[in-house]
Amino acid sequence: TYGKEGIRPVILQKMAKLKAQGMVDVEGIVVLIKATEDATYKDMIDILDEMAITGVKIYAIQDMSDAELQLMQ
């Protein structure tokens, strides 16, 4: 899910952990966004909104590999 009860705290926790370890530079973290075939246009807009809200400046939208699709099942 998205919002303050969904992916947002996960992103913020990862950012804080990496920052504490000195692994986040000026540009922050890189997030790979991979959607399944079930994803909707709204899902994509929601995750892009989360990137803006959490301050993630670098992200990429990619297709899922066959191995990743198998993990999802």
Q: What is the pLDDT of residue 61?
A: 95
Q: Residue 26 pLDDT more than 70?
A: no
Number of helices and strands in the chain (H, E): 3, 2
Q: What is the pLDDT of residue 11?
A: 92
pTM value is 0.81
Residues in contact with 11: Cβ distance below 8 Å, sequence separation at least 6, in sequence order:
31, 50, 54, 56
Q: Of 6-15, 20-29, 50-59, give the lowest mean pLDDT range.
A: 20-29
Q: What is the pLDDT of residue 22?
A: 82
Residues in contact with 13: Cβ distance below 8 Å, sequence separation at least 6, in sequence order:
none
Residues in contact with 57: Cβ distance below 8 Å, sequence separation at least 6, in sequence order:
27, 28
Do the beta carbons of residue 36 and residue 69 sit within 8 Å?
yes
